């Protein structure tokens, strides 16, 4: 199949013919993924829904929880022991601390280090949320009084 690049105002565009859309099994308005490769451009239909992403995230969390233990009360959170502490941050607003064998990739040697890492993840999520609110205001939402960070 062939198509031609056209000039549209200050931009350039590519016309997708009906046979091209039929081949991709998409209708006008559907979002497509475009990937630059060594050979050119790949145009692909996005096959992952939001539900799929949520399911994969939950399966990841469930798998990590199944292979770790809840954090027990420790006498000295600064002390190193034979236990590592993993920060599971699939949801950055609610990181979870779990006990894992020391040496597990990404684990912290002390509970204090893991708690600090979790705090930083939450702090970064708050900063990202503030930036998102700014972006929302810039696209026409002038007054968001019900959200305060």
pLDDT tens digits, one per residue of 57-98 = 889 889 988 989 999 988 899 999 989 999 999 889 999 999
Q: 22: number of CA atoms within 13 Å, CB side?
A: 4
pTM score above 0.75:
no
Domain 5-45 has CATH 2.60.40: no
Report the C-alpha gap between 62 and 43 in whole angstroms.
34
- CATH 2.10.260 in the chain is located at 5-45
């Amino acid at each position: 199949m062939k198509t031609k690049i056209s000039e549209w105002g200050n931009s350039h565009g590519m016309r997708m013919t009906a046979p091209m859309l039929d081949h991709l099994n998409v209708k006008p308005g559907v979002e497509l993924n475009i990937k630059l490769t060594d050979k050119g451009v790949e145009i692909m239909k996005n096959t992952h829904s939001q539900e799929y992403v949520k399911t994969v995230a939950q399966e990841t969390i469930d798998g990590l929880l199944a292979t770790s233990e809840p954090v027990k009360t420790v006498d000295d959170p600064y002390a190193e022991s034979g236990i590592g502490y993993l920060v599971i941050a699939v949801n950055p607003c609610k990181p979870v601390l779990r006990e894992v064998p020391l040496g597990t990739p990404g684990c912290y040697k002390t509970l204090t280090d893991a708690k600090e890492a979790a705090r930083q993840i939450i702090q970064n999520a708050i900063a990202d949320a503030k930036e998102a609110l700014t972006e929302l205001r810039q696209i026409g939402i002038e007054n968001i009084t019900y959200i305060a960070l």
